[in-house]
Amino acid sequence: MEVQSVGKLNKKTQRYEPGVSKQTGFPSPATHYAEATIDLNHELIANREATFFVRVDGEDMLDQGVAHNDVLIIDRSIAPKSTDVVLHVKEGEFKLDKMSTEVIELWGVVTYIIHATR
């Protein structure tokens, strides 16, 4: 299984300031139901500086729930456990495997798998 692309996370810029509506005219009865949006960077990433995304090419890890074109969130600051799926370098290429004693050059631990359902 190979990795198509690797990238660093960009810092999120605040897009809007939630708060009191600045509308004119008759107020909407649903104004008090407004909720803040979910920020997946905040929800899924523990250490922003050590986290990156990769897209999977191949279907070698289907038994671990990783399919072709899935996006993996990988954290380099986490110590791997024997049950973790990890990204490592083997023979000069990035490989995705279950953690084992054979993994010499560990690149990071897969913390989340983003999988399209369609």
108 burial (CB, 10 Å; 0-12 / 13-18 / 19+) is: buried
Q: Is residue 75 scored above 90 in pLDDT?
A: yes
Quote the mean pLDDT of the chain: 83
pLDDT for the residue 109: 96
Q: Is residue 9 scored above 90 in pLDDT?
A: no
Q: Is the pTM of this model over 0.75?
A: no
Q: Is residue 25 scored above 90 in pLDDT?
A: no
Give per-residue pLDDT as tens, 34-58: 777 889 999 999 999 999 999 999 9
CATH class of 2-9+31-114: mainly beta
Q: Can you tell me the distance from the alpha carbon of 94 to that of 17, in angstroms, rounded to the nearest whole number? A: 41
Q: What are phi and psi of 72, to 5 degrees?
A: -105, 140
CB distance 3 to 87 below 8 Å? yes
Helix (H) or strand (E) holding 53: strand 51-57
Instruction: With cut-offs at 50, 70 and 90, classify the pLDDT of residue 17.
Output: low
Instruction: Give domain limits for the chain.
Output: 2-9+31-114
CB distance 87 to 5 below 8 Å? no
